[in-house]
Amino acid sequence: MNKAIRILRDEHRSLAAVLHGLRHLAQASLDAGVQPRFEVFRAMIRYIDEFPERLHHPKEDACLFARLVARAPETRPLIEVLRAEHVESAQRVRALERALDEYERSWPHWSGPFLAAVEDYVEFHRRHMQREELEVLPAAERVLSDDDWRAIEEAFAGNADPIADLREQDLARLYTRIVSLAPAPIGLGARWDSAPT
Ligand SMILES: [Fe+2]
Ligand SMILES: [Fe+2]
């Protein structure tokens, strides 16, 4: 596997880990006896917003997708769907934020609708990443040249863009914060207290 593909898959794994954590905690908070710490949900949603928006999707759009369409025009319909999903993803995160605001205002009610909003987003993004891994990467491996891969690798490693590198450091710090705040088995943070009765 070349380095660019390895980085792209690693980025998907980081995002999938936070999505898994978010779903797990949203499920756990259905229990009316648990008082959720909303800052954990907020940090996770911020990561889900910023990691794809600031780092991952721009690299896919500008580099991998553009080169793939140039070398294999038959992939254009697929790439158009995936580009549209990048835009849709940002809108769906806004809906997720609104659901979290409503949950925080309404707690101890509204855990069900919040979980439904989380599951909706997780499923949407899981399908998106799966299509990239099962359809885009195999096509790219078939048609891209060594020069293409070198350029994609540069972009994905952040070497070509010092700003991207700074963003990556920011996001790495946010990821560490999520791990330190989220309770087991997702992270190392304190257990969520029982709700006052
Ligand atoms: Fe994508
Ligand atoms: Fe992706």
Q: Which ligand is nearest to the CA of 137?
A: 2
Sorted by sequence, the CB contacts under 8 Å of residue 76 that are 6+ apart come out as: 69
Cα of 89 vs centre of ligand 2, distance in Å, is 11
What confidence score (pLDDT) does residue 163 get?
A: 60
Q: Which ligand is nearest to the CA of 11?
A: 2
What confidence score (pLDDT) does residue 129 get?
A: 97
How many CB atoms sit inside 10 A of residue 84's CB?
Answer: 10
Cα of 130 vs centre of ligand 2, distance in Å, is 9
Domain boundaries, the chain: 3-181
- 8 Å CB contact between 41 and 100: yes
**Residue 174, token pair as written in the block:** 């946010």
Sorted by sequence, the CB contacts under 8 Å of residue 19 that are 6+ apart come out as: 48, 121, 122, 125, 126
Q: What is the pLDDT along the chain (197 residues), one digit of tens a residue?
A: 688 899 899 999 989 999 999 999 999 999 988 889 999 999 999 999 988 888 899 889 999 999 999 999 999 999 999 999 999 999 999 999 999 999 999 999 999 999 999 999 999 999 999 999 999 999 999 999 999 999 999 888 875 555 666 677 787 888 888 888 888 888 888 888 766 55
Cα of 129 vs centre of ligand 1, distance in Å, is 6
Q: Which CATH topology does 3-181 take?
A: Four Helix Bundle (Hemerythrin (Met), subunit A) (1.20.120)
Cα of 132 vs centre of ligand 1, distance in Å, is 7
What confidence score (pLDDT) does residue 170 get?
A: 80
34 by DSSP, 3-state: which? strand
**Residue 189, token pair as written in the block:** 């943070």
Cα of 182 vs centre of ligand 2, distance in Å, is 25
Note residues around ion ligand 1 (Cβ under 5 angstroms). 60
What confidence score (pLDDT) does residue 169 get?
A: 78
Backbone angle region of 186, left / alpha / beta, with phi > 0 → left and psi within -120 to 50 → alpha: alpha
CA pair distance 125, 92, nearest whole angstrom:
10
Q: What is the 3-state secondary structure (H, E, C) of 144-194?
A: CCHHHHHHHHHHHHCCCCHHHHHHHHHHHHHHHHHHHHCECCCCCECCCCE
Cα of 8 vs centre of ligand 2, distance in Å, is 7
Cα of 146 vs centre of ligand 1, distance in Å, is 22
What confidence score (pLDDT) does residue 195 get?
A: 64
